[in-house]
Structure 1
Amino acid sequence: MILVWLALLNGLFLVPGLALPGANPLISLEVLVIWALLCGLHNQNLRYRVTLALAVTYGLLAFLVLADTLIRESLGRGLNLYLEVRLLDATWNLLDTNVGGAPAAIALTVLLVLLLALGWLFRFGLERLRHHSPGHLGKPLWLISGLALAGAVTPWIGSPALAFVANQASLIKETHRTTQAFAAELAATPGRLDQPKRLTTLADTDVVFGFIESYGISTLTDVRYQPVISQSLTSMAKQLTDAGLTVATGRLRSPIQGGQSWLGHLSVLSGQWIKNQLAYETFLSSGYSTLIDDFRSTGHTTVAVMPAITRAWPEGRLFRYDRVYDHDDLGYQGPPFNWVTMPDQYTWRRFQELREQESQPLFAELALISSHAPWVPILPILDDWEAIGDGRVFRQWEGTGEAPVSLWRDPDRVREHFAKAISYALETAGGFAAHYVQEDTLLILLGDHQPAPLITGEDASRDVIVHVISADPALVEPFLSGDLPGFRRGVIPDLQEEGALMSRFRPFLHRQFSQPLLSGTVSRDLEDN
């Protein structure tokens, strides 16, 4: 009987190994050490407290392993406690808006009950093991010693729970070290707030960055999506040509996958590799300049259009935009569509209205969200852009499409909806360009990151697609110079050559469109901030 309980506990202790790279052991030394501990505990009250503490500890470990699995499937990386504690609020917000507050709370409650049940099973196993164990340490100690020696020469014997804890400790230490090094590098590098660059070639040009959610290179390299997206790009190419527009397309490598879009946005705007939340916060508190400062020093009014921002966004002021238009500022009177607060077509049209109110050249960042999970429902494109108004026209599709919880039971159908959502985002962006992009406009459409590994598969490229569009060919020509590799004419990027890092985009714009800001000529707006 003792072998049965040892086997059960051994299986439970192997679970943390699932969150570690490499071969997993088949025998856990931890269970043998605990067996020896139990054999040495003869005081019943002390043994009760120890087994309870071990059960709670194991429940926590099981929770972290589950979190690691979910993070790998959604963000394409493993658990890092040093980073994850800063994302709890964003995670809850995503659950709340996708499945609703009550279902999300129920799901978390069920998860908690399962973890408690697992902890109880672990504690019950410890009690039964103690009940069937000898009253002395001889056998456990001999077995531990023998297996420990064997573990030195075979990968089938190990300490997965201890290795999991050690791995997290190492990640915490390394992440802290790299964050401190990044902060020191920012402090020592030219480019702080008093050193933006004027983009003189673009002084009279509206420059618009439209970040398309989850628009990654897999939309063209994965056979599951390529037919749908190629057709959309062909349609977009015809729209642009008919409107007399020039387009070049390339690819850039994003620091993230599956989520945390703001890291990709800031990597492009800052010219720094913003690979995690700590780097993001470190950069924003550093005073280092971004493209926003570059364009303000050039004479542009700088705005951000953020339809997904529905709550207070205190870090937004650190970007130093002249104006930030969040959900409440965009005047949308239509219905939300699950996580998507308003469809892209409304966002584009509302942006054009705001643009027409400006007397100065405009630099704008738009965070487009119709291609954000859960990718349901997929709306039609309205032919008459002028009839969009305040968005009430979209009420006719309120409540359409199935519930996300139903759709996401079938991964194949999720992937099908993903392709349709990207297609919608591209067609609306192309429609905006065809209607409103003129010779005084440079429109840059780019993905923020690849979708989750559930969509792309494991080990997919982290490249995103970038389209550069204008009615003035001279504004597009620098992207074809080879200074930033991988760009070529048309709407299809090079599918073989990897893209440059997103952090190289700002330096590229500096080289092609700017001259250094003269010493002592900091703009009054920058001094005021």
Structure 2
Amino acid sequence: MADRFRSDNEKPMRSDRRRPFGILLLIAAVLAIAAALLLPNDRSRLAADAFAAVPIELLVLIIALAVVPGVLRPLIRWGAALLLAIVLIVKLADMAAFEAMARPFNPVLDAHLLNAVWDLAVGTLGHAAAVGLTIAVVLLLVSIIVLSGFLVGITASGVKRHRLAAVSVAGALLLIGWQMPKLYPASQGLHFLTASTSGLMQRHATSLAASLKDLEEFDREASNDPAADIADDVLMSRLGGRDVLLFFVESYGRTVLDNPLYAPSIRPLLEQLDQTVDDQGLHAASGFLTSPVSGGQSWLGHASTLAGLWVDNQRRYNSMLVKNRQTLIDDFNRAGYRTVAVMPAITMAWPEGTALGYDMVYDEPNLGYEGLPFNWVTMPDQYTLAALDRFERLADRDQPLFAEVALISSHAPWTPIPRVIDWATVGDGSIFSEQARDGATPQEVWADPERVRTQFRLSIEYALANLDSYIAERLADEFVLIILGDHQPARIITGETDNRDVPIHIISDDAQIVSDLAAALGFTAGMTPPDDAVAERMSVFRGRVVETLSSPPGTVNDGVAGTRSVGPT
């Protein structure tokens, strides 16, 4: 072994001017690898102290490059380069996922999102810019692979020239790092070694395995149907034939009520809605539910609510469709309702609509909107609701209506912001074209995070103002209206929080229905949930609604506090 270490180190010194440069390059390569291994996978933890450690993986690599036989050294070199590239790509993917969805990236669950990201980029930036962004991402990935090979190659060459010194330094650091906590257990500052990257990759591997195993558990959950034993003539009988409208408001999360950037503007709008409900002789109750997602993937929030299952990833969603899980849509079909979906963000074929069993799906092509889009947002919420009324609510029909409606004006990029107009002038929507030309471009807005947050707030203000106008001017008949956020917005809006709660409001002309649903779900009267309200998962919604609306008045969770009606009784 001593002979092996002697090699190059014992050769006579040469007056090689490149030697200092080579040593500096070696040091730079080693430091760059260390930085890559220490790089956090979450931007919120990106700080100088995150790099104040020595990665064990780097020390092990240096020792391996120094001591393994020459025939194996190339395998270690290229294997290490590949692993370093994978580590960097996974960490960058995690950063993006944390910003968008407040969780790490999972390739098993998230690969399908590439299409959604492309559609959002095209709708926000335009086709040419989206292509440019895609090319930039591909070049970044290629650069990471090439750079990883270069850095490990420089390190391998340097270790070959200075084997004894490399092994001595790396071994000493490992020994000191291993023994120091035992010798000085109270001195946490001396615990300078870390294997954080190995731990991260182990967690990712465990997560992938758990994702596959999760499908087995999901199948067991899906076999329990809360409406299976309820007779058709009893199912939803409490409604007395009332229309049921389920409005999902895009990115309407708890942050709008808790965050001081938004609450001072949003809470007064809910108070105004309270007044409107009271003026119309209606009744309301509100609370929170926890969405399975944050920042995107709205369909998983819809599915969790409709199916009564925790659908927190695409594999569960696909399994739900394949297994033909019964949902609220099936419940209302059995109860004699006409079931429709109004989905203005759906611009292409949507086979899930058929699989879910709607009688009719109104997507962007058949909603009849003739105005300009608001960037990614295909049409303003006011037109969506006007179309719902024209095609369904105010049309001649012999069945009550269950409508699931996606209100998307509060979807990124949050520019331009629509304005509520006289309902009589909505028409085919061409009147909104002038509004669609107003305001800053997405590129201008997204250049300034503070401006992004302001635009988000304005979009929620519009969404609530539009709902207030709709309730005041359009809902004069018997109905149950459920307004529910689909998920919290991304971290650029919420800040560093893992909270996934969304507000939910139930409004109806029937005080007893509101009171009983509030009791079943733990909600309180009015349009503003209390600050200390505890949220349950969206997946509880279907079972409790079905039980309540299929039972005699006042028999489900009777006597639960905090369910008084708003307005005349």
Contact residue 16 and residue 61 of structure 1 kept, 8 A: no
1 CA distance for matches of 2:40 and 2:290?
32
State how far apart, in whole Å, the 1-side matches of 2:141 and 2:157 are. Answer: 24
Deviations 1:303-323 (A, max 9, x none): 000000001212222211111
1:293 to 330, 351, 357: 330
Q: Distance in 2 between matches of 1:12 and 1:261?
A: 33
Q: Which amino acid aligns with 2:453?
A: R
Q: Greater shift after overlay, 261-270 or 185-194?
A: 185-194
Q: Judging changes above 3 Å, is the alpha-carbon distance between structure 1 residues 26 and 108 closer, same or farther for their aligned structure 2 residues?
A: farther
- Give how far 1:43 is off: 6.8
Aligned partner of residue 39 in structure 2, secondary structure:
helix
Relative to structure 1, is the Cα distance of residues 188 and 431 closer, same or farther in structure 2, using a 3 angstrom cutoff? Answer: closer
| 3-state secondary structure, aligned to 1:224 | coil
Shift of 1:370: 0.3
8 Å contact from structure 1 (residues 19, 68) kept in 2? no
Distance 2:73 2:535 in 1: 59
Aligned residue identity for 1:393: I
Q: Report the counterpart of residue 474 of structure 1 in structure 2.
A: 512
Give the aligned partner of residue 18 of structure 2: none
Equivalent residue number for residue 103 of structure 1: 129
- Partner SS state of residue 228, structure 1: helix
Do the aligned partners of residues 12 and 281 (structure 1) sit closer, same or farther apart at CA in structure 2, a change above 3 Å counting?
A: same
1:287 shift after superposition: 2.2
TM-score (norm 2): 0.83
Separation in structure 2 between the aligned mates of residue 182 and residue 404 of structure 1, nearest angstrom: 39
Listed one character per residue, the Cα deviations across residues 96-131 of structure 1 (whole Å, up to 9, x for unaligned) are 211122212212322333443344333333333333
8 Å contact 1:292–1:321 — kept in the other structure?
A: yes
Distance 1:465 1:178 in 2: 28
Aligned residues of 1:69 and 1:78 also touching (Cα < 8 A):
yes
Q: Which residue of the partner structure matches residue 519 of structure 1?
A: none
Work out the CA distance in 1 between the residues paired with 2:224 and 2:542. Answer: 19
Render the CA deviation track for 1:347-394: whole Å, top value 9, x for unaligned: 001001122223210001001100111111111110x21221110111
Equivalent in the alignment of 2:58: 31
Query: Which runs of structure 2 are paired with 1:98-247 in the superposition (5 Å)?
Result: 98-134=124-160, 140-141=166-167, 143-149=169-175, 153=181, 156-187=192-223, 198-247=235-284
The equivalent position to 1:504 in structure 2, one of 540, 543, 558, is 540
The 5 Å alignment of 1:13-412 reads: 13-15=37-39, 26-39=53-66, 51=77, 54-134=80-160, 140-141=166-167, 143-149=169-175, 153=181, 156-187=192-223, 198-355=235-392, 356-357=394-395, 358-382=397-421, 384-412=422-450
Q: How many angstroms apart in 1 are the aligned matches of 2:75 and 2:398?
A: 72
Quick check: 1:11 aligned with 2:48?
no
Return the alpha-carbon distance in structure 1 between the equivalents of residues 40 and 425 of structure 2: 56
8 Å Cα contact 2:77/2:156 also seen in 1: no
Q: What secondary structure sits across from 2:386 in the alignment?
A: helix
What SS does structure 1 have at the residue aligned with 2:385?
helix
One-letter code aligned to 1:392:
S
Q: Is the partner of 1:133 in helix, strand or coil? A: helix
Assess if the C-alpha contact under 8 Å between 2:42 and 2:98 holds in 1: no
1:32–1:140 contact (8 Å) kept in structure 2: no
Task: Give unpaired runs (5+ residues) of structure 1.
Answer: 517-529
Are the structure 2 counterparts of residues 118 and 380 from structure 1 closer, same or farther at C-alpha, using a change threshold of 3 Å?
A: same
Between 9-18 and 265-274, report the one with greater CA deviation: 9-18
**27 and 338 in structure 1: CA distance in 2 versus 1, 3 angstrom threshold:** same
> CA distance change for structure 1 residues 42 and 148 in 2, over 3 Å: closer, same or farther?
closer
Query: Are 2:227 and 2:331, in contact at CA under 8 Å, matched by a contact in 1?
Result: no
Whole-Å separation in 2 of the counterparts to 1:17 and 1:477: 46
**Superposition misfits of 4+ residues, deviation over 6 angstroms:** 19-25, 41-44, 46-50, 192-197
RMSD: 2.9
Percent identity reads: 36
AA at the equivalent of 1:379: P
What SS class does the counterpart of residue 395 from structure 1 fall into? helix
**Over residues 2-33 of structure 1, what are the superposed CA-to-partner deviations in whole Å (9 max), with x where a residue is unaligned?**
44432232223323666899977721233333
Alpha-carbon contact 2:226-2:543 (below 8 Å) kept: no
Say if 1:231 and 1:20 are closer, same or farther in 2 by CA, change over 3 A: closer
Q: Is the 8 A contact 1:182 1:279 kept in 2?
A: yes
Greater shift in the superposed pair: 410-419 or 362-371: 410-419
Deviations 1:109-155 (A, max 9, x none): 22333443344333333333333334585555555555445555575
Deviations 1:506-526 (A, max 9, x none): 12212221159xxxxxxxxxx
Tell me the SS of whatever aligns to 1:210.
Answer: strand
Distance 1:194 1:84 in 2: 37
Partner in structure 1 of residue 13 of structure 2: none
Contact 1:193 1:293 in 2 (8 A): no
Which amino acid in 2 is paired with 1:387? T
Q: Quick check: 254-263 or 57-66, which moved more?
A: 57-66
- Asked whether the equivalents of residues 336 and 342 of structure 1 are also in contact (C-alpha less than 8 Å), the reply is yes
